[in-house]
């Protein structure tokens, strides 16, 4: 069979296996995505793309999808390298199911020692906490004195001397 026929057949097999699995998505005729650890904080998406000569050559593994932005680049590269290693061992065969199964069975091992990037929500929560600290009486008094009780900064009505001299 030609590589294209093998790809069509493998896609049909994968769709029949994962038809009720919400973690499996078909992006195109040659690209699929699978989400691992859906209910955990260490979840990630692996994208498998088949080159034109697949299954004679290994598929491309992509971990640089938006969903994985909480994972550091080193961890993504480490997972990708381990999956590519399995793909190289099975070169010449349809390996998409094998790769998904490998990551599913070794999920704990692959995610055991990774560090997460702080999410944007966590960063803003920390900043908000710093902003909401109550002011002391002395700090309030200093703020009142600076604004002269009117809310306008000191010197708001001062004349710009250079501008004034330039006009004369």
Do 3 and 55 touch, CB atoms closer than 8 A?
A: yes
DSSP code string of the chain? --HHHHHHHHHHHHHHHSTT-TTEEEEETTEEEEEESTTSTT-EEEEEE--TTTTSSPPEEE--SGGGGGB-HHHHHHHHHHHHHHHHHTTTS--HHHHHHHHHHTHHHHHTT--BPPPHHHHHHHHHHHHTPPPPHHHHHHHHHHHTTTTSPTTTT---HHHHHHH-
Q: Which of 122, 123, 15, 119 is nearest to 67 (CA)?
A: 119
pLDDT of residue 148: 66
Structure tokens at 86: 């399995």
pLDDT of residue 76: 87
Distance CA 68, CA 64 (A): 7
pTM: predicted TM-score of the whole model, two decimal places: 0.64
The domains located in the chain, with CATH, are 3-111 (3.10.110.10), 120-167 (no CATH)
pLDDT of residue 47: 92
Distance CA 138, CA 145 (A): 10
- Chain Cα centroid distance, residue 113: 17
Do 50 and 30 touch, CB atoms closer than 8 A?
A: yes
Q: Would you write out the chain's pLDDT as a tens digit for each of its 168 residues?
A: 687 888 888 889 988 998 888 889 988 888 999 998 877 778 889 999 989 888 888 899 998 888 888 888 888 888 899 999 998 988 888 888 899 999 889 888 888 777 666 556 666 666 666 666 778 889 888 877 777 666 677 676 777 777 778 886
Do 86 and 98 touch, CB atoms closer than 8 A?
A: yes
């Amino acid at each position: 069979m030609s590589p294209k026929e093998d790809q069509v057949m493998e896609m049909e097999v994968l769709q029949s296996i994962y038809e009720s699995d919400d973690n499996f998505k078909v992006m195109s005729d040659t690209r699929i995505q699978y989400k691992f650890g859906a209910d955990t904080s260490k979840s990630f998406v692996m994208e498998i793309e088949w080159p034109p000569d697949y299954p004679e050559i290994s598929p491309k593994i992509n971990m640089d999808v938006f969903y994985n932005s909480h994972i550091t680049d080193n961890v993504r590269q480490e997972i990708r390298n381990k999956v590519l290693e399995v793909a190289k061992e099975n070169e010449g065969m349809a390996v998409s199911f094998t790769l998904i199964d490998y990551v599913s069975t070794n999920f704990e091992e692959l995610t055991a020692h990774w560090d997460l990037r702080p999410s944007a929500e966590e960063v803003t929560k920390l900043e908000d906490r710093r902003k909401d600290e109550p002011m002391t009486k002395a700090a309030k008094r200093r703020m009142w004195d600076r604004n002269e009780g009117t809310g306008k900064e000191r010197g708001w009505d001062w004349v710009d001397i250079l501008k004034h001299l330039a006009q004369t």
